[in-house]
């Protein structure tokens, strides 16, 4: 089996995308998987779904699950479209969320590790910064909220959790009845919590009966 066919299968790449090349960079201990999009396929604005012609492309890289002891990177020229309503927009790719530098599979692994180990341990073992881990957590929370649909949390819990030796903190807001995390803040300042509350629709706020801190 050719290396391009192997990575097409294990990555789950489907048309109009295809793995065009696999490069092993021994000095960097990296495997770079190049993915291309077949020309002539339909393009859409990721915000409104309007079908549009291609505007240009941007070279993007995403970290994927390691291949043995080698860090694995996906590379692709991602098309952009010029939407009359939303301006120049990068189209979606099937293996990662917008504005993420990691594949969905890699982010799922990080979330699984965070269930078993501290943030500092995951950061050290996977070579990730705090900001990278925070972004992965935020996207996971966003996906969870989208799956649940409209939030009807009546009893909220607000807790502060420290990580690392210098006592950096995150603020966690949870639905106490359902045991679900609703928001992860970067610090323990009131301003961040206030900003989150103000982002909620009026119907969500009316449903809240109590907040425990």
- 88 vs 178 pLDDT, higher one: 88
**What is residue 149's predicted lDDT score, i.e. its pLDDT?**
57
Q: What is the DSSP string of 152-203?
A: ---EEEEEEEEETTTTEEEEEEEETTTTEEEEEESSS-HHHHHHHHHHS-HH
Determine whether 112 is exposed, middle or buried from the number of CB atoms within 10 Å of its CB (0-12, 13-18, 19+).
exposed
- 21 vs 149 pLDDT, higher one: 21
**What is residue 147's predicted lDDT score, i.e. its pLDDT?**
67
48-52, 94-98, 170-174, 190-194: which has the minimum mean pLDDT?
190-194
**What is residue 150's predicted lDDT score, i.e. its pLDDT?**
57
What confidence tens digit (pLDDT) does each residue in 25-49 have? Answer: 999 999 999 999 998 888 999 999 9
Pairing of strands 70-83, 30-37: parallel
Beta bridge partners of 57: 79
CA distances from 47 to 53, 98, 113 (A): 15, 11, 32
**What is residue 196's predicted lDDT score, i.e. its pLDDT?**
80
Question: Within this chain, do residues 41 and 13 fall inside the same structural domain, yes or no?
Answer: yes
- Mean pLDDT score of the chain, rounded to an integer? 88
Question: Within this chain, do residues 173 and 160 fall inside the same structural domain, yes or no?
Answer: yes
What confidence tens digit (pLDDT) does each residue in 3-17 have? Answer: 999 999 999 999 999
Between helix 104-116 and helix 119-126 the angle, nearest 10°, is 130
Where is 60: in which H helix or E strand? strand 54-67
Q: Are 128 and 110 in contact (CB under 8 A)?
A: yes
Overall domain count for the chain: 3
Question: Within this chain, do residues 14 and 79 fall inside the same structural domain, yes or no?
Answer: yes
Q: What is the CA radius of gyration of the chain?
A: 20
Last residue in a domain, options 55, 79, 95: 95
Question: Within this chain, do residues 114 and 176 fall inside the same structural domain, yes or no?
Answer: no
What confidence tens digit (pLDDT) does each residue in 141-183 have? Answer: 888 767 665 567 888 888 887 665 556 677 888 888 877 778 7
Give the pLDDT mean for 182-210: 79
Q: pLDDT grade, residue 197 (50/70/90)?
A: confident
Give the pLDDT mean for 113-123: 92
**What is residue 165's predicted lDDT score, i.e. its pLDDT?**
57
Question: Within this chain, do residues 127 and 157 fall inside the same structural domain, yes or no?
Answer: no
What confidence tens digit (pLDDT) does each residue in 58-85 have? Answer: 999 999 999 999 999 999 999 999 999 9
Identify the domain containing residue 34 by its residue range: 3-95
**What is residue 85's predicted lDDT score, i.e. its pLDDT?**
94
- 2 vs 177 pLDDT, higher one: 2
Give the pLDDT mean for 123-128: 95
Question: Within this chain, do residues 83 and 124 fall inside the same structural domain, yes or no?
Answer: no
37-41, 72-76, 99-103, 106-110: which has the minimum mean pLDDT?
37-41
Question: Within this chain, do residues 188 and 111 fall inside the same structural domain, yes or no?
Answer: no
70-82 as b/e, with b when 16 or more CB fall inside 10 Å? ebbbbbbebbbbe
**What is residue 163's predicted lDDT score, i.e. its pLDDT?**
61
């Amino acid at each position: 089996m050719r290396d391009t066919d192997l990575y097409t299968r294990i990555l789950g790449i489907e048309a109009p995308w295809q793995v065009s090349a696999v490069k092993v960079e021994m000095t960097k201990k990296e495997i770079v998987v190049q993915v291309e999009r077949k020309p002539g396929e339909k393009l859409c604005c990721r915000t409104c779904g309007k079908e549009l012609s291609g505007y240009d492309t941007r070279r993007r890289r995403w970290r994927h699950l390691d291949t043995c002891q080698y860090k694995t990177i996906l590379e692709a020229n991602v098309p952009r479209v010029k939407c009359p309503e939303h301006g120049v927009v990068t189209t979606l790719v099937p293996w990662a969320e917008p504005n993420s530098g990691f594949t969905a599979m890699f982010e799922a692994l990080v979330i699984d590790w965070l269930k078993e180990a501290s943030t500092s341990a995951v950061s050290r073992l996977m070579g990730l910064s705090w900001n990278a881990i925070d972004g992965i957590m935020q996207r996971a929370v966003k996906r969870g909220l989208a799956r649940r649909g409209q939030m009807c949390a009546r009893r909220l819990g607000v807790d502060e959790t420290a990580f690392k030796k210098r006592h950096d903190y995150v603020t966690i807001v949870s639905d106490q009845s359902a045991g679900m995390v609703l928001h992860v803040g970067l610090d323990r300042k009131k301003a961040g919590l206030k900003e989150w509350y103000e982002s909620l629709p009026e119907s969500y706020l009316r449903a809240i009966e109590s907040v425990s801190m």
